[in-house]
Amino acid sequence: MEIPFAESWKIKMVEPIRKSTREEREKWIKEADYNLFCLKSDQVYIDCLTDSGTGAMSDRQWAAMMTGDESYAGARSFFELKDAIKTITGFDYVIPTHQGRAAENVLFSALVHEGDFVLGNSTFDTTKGHIEFRKASAVDCTIDDAKDTQKELPFKGNVDLVKLEKGLIKYGDKVPFIIMTITNNTAGGEPVSMENLKGVRELANKYGKRVIFDSARFAENAYFIKTREAGYADKSIKEICKEMFALADGMTMSAKKDGLVNMGGFIATRWEDWYEAAKAFVIPFEGYLTYGGMNGRDMAALAVGLIENTEFENLHTRIHQLKLLASLLDEYGVPYQRPVGGHAIFIDALKVLPQIPKEEFPAQTLAVELYKEAGIRGCEIGFILADRDPVTRENRFGGNDFVRLCIPRRVYTDNHIRVIAAALKNVYDKRDEINRGVKIVWEAELMRHFTVKLRPAGGK
Ligand code: F0G
């Protein structure tokens, strides 16, 4: 028998979780206005809301925290972080920020202007928010196949190079940069191939543009290049990372994902002019240049986290759990974005609940049902998250409507994964009995999914 050697760590500290009854959960979700972000974490049994800042640090990271240097300027921990980033990306200039969206805020304040068009694969909602907030537009040039959830392609996060080139010609001087999100969260945590990143670089060079990687899950992207792309099987994750980042001019980073920390982010670039431009914004928005929103100890832990999470074994343990969840859902027939990506499984709600009209938000409806079933908190990555069109104010129903179930890094065991799969099976088996969705009773203008208030459609 083959020995399933997937684990690369063991558990040294545990946190209790509490089961609840269906009756309690029905009351709590009503009190939360049917918005899973509004639940208290104690009301959740397994939390798959996000993989952002929810991971477990290693003993080596905790040890590094004790060595953190809290000097206001020139902290040693900053230089440790800078060295780790240089080792992995090759970038010389580093600006820490308190998280990924802060990196976007600082860098885009310097680079994005009213009337601009930012091209790339799918931008995450905070990235889109920071672009639209500046009265510019994000143009999604992801391959059309990414929308077909049942199509098996190794790199469904790729950009369509023909669409990208058309955009570069059409918008010309109005394109401040190209942004590639690795992995492509919005499309399902799907990776981007090295070949595609090379194609983007060629187009960028042809049209005189620079390229930013939104790198929140860059290490998972490198794992998929190693395991799925011809020619990379024998390269280390760190070698692949170096090769990826050699194709970019800079990066924004939410360190809460592949940095293996609970809070933090940064901008890194090879260009002094970008660094100088961003400097003007980091000081008023975040903090001084060598801490920019982070504690010294957090920078020290991040430096270790970046090195740890670019080890194959660590990534393999994680992605094995996603594969386990996917294989159980295959067994139960639950449709999801195929093949499973790096950080989450994306359930295709339009296929599960075809009877619920788009106006009643099928994915949100399904996420609420899953919570009621077993206290599992997922997140809608669909029509609510897509926000309204800034010009017409119409809902954007053009994309997929997913329930995203994220797996936090190094937090849950394979048995938690089996609980998630069993709960999904139960909801799936009862899907024909779900005959009404939800309606919005209050929403914010931008990034509405965090605070939206909902009611059962047709109800009060
Ligand atoms: N870019 C991507 C691809 C992201 O997934 C996120 C956050 C950000 C940028 C913003 O980073 O949260 O540190 O400010 N994604 C989280 C998620 C929130 O749940 O997918 P942040």
Catalytic one of 257, 275, 343, 363: 257
5 is catalytic: no
- Report DSSP state, residue 57: P
- How far lies 415's CA from each of 20, 344, 372, 418, in Å? 18, 16, 20, 5
Distance from C-alpha of 340 to C-alpha of 324, rounded to nearest angstrom? 10
Asked if 340 and 322 touch (Cβ cutoff 8 Å), the reply is yes
**Ligand 1 atom with minimal separation from the 99 CA:** 13
Which of 45-49, 69-73, 128-132 has the lowest average pLDDT? 128-132
- pLDDT at res. 357: 96
Q: What is the pLDDT of residues 362-382, one digit of tens each?
A: 999 999 999 999 999 999 999
Q: Please say if the pLDDT value at position 460 is more than 60.
A: no
**Ligand 1 atom with minimal separation from the 254 CA:** 13
Q: Is the CB of 108 under 6 A from ligand 1?
A: no
| Residue ranges with strand state E in 330-437 | 344-348, 376-377, 379-381, 402-406
DSSP element (H, E) containing 407:
none
Q: Is the peptide bond before 186 cis (omega within 30 degrees of 0)?
A: no
Q: Is the peptide bond before 4 cis (omega within 30 degrees of 0)?
A: no
Catalytic one of 34, 45, 108, 124: 124
**Ligand 1 atom with minimal separation from the 379 CA:** 19
Distance from C-alpha of 379 to C-alpha of 359, rounded to nearest angstrom? 18
Which of 86-90, 123-127, 308-312 has the lowest average pLDDT? 123-127
**Ligand 1 atom with minimal separation from the 255 CA:** 13
Averaged confidence pLDDT in the chain: 97
- pLDDT at res. 95: 98
The encoded tokens of residue 452 equal 């939206």
Q: Is the CB of 338 under 6 A from ligand 1?
A: no
Q: What is the pLDDT of residues 191-239, one digit of tens each?
A: 999 999 999 999 999 999 999 999 999 999 999 999 999 999 999 999 9
Catalytic one of 5, 27, 59, 72: 72
Q: Is the CB of 449 under 6 A from ligand 1?
A: no
257 is catalytic: yes
Q: Whose CA is nearest to atom 8 of ligand 1?
A: 100
Q: What is the pLDDT of residues 405-451, one digit of tens each?
A: 999 999 999 999 999 999 999 999 999 999 999 999 999 988 899 99
- pLDDT at res. 89: 98
Alpha helices in 33-191 (DSSP H): 59-66, 76-89, 100-111, 125-133, 161-171
Q: What is the pLDDT of residues 256-301, one digit of tens each?
A: 999 999 999 999 999 999 999 999 999 999 999 999 999 999 999 9
Q: What is the pLDDT of residues 292-322, one digit of tens each?
A: 999 999 999 999 999 999 999 999 999 999 9
- pLDDT at res. 459: 52
Q: What percent of the chain has pLDDT over 90?
A: 95
Using the mean position of ligand 1's atoms as its centre, give its distance from the Cα of residue 100 in Å: 6
Q: Whose CA is nearest to atom 9 of ligand 1?
A: 100
173 is catalytic: no
Asked if 349 and 403 touch (Cβ cutoff 8 Å), the reply is yes
Asked if 249 and 205 touch (Cβ cutoff 8 Å), the reply is no
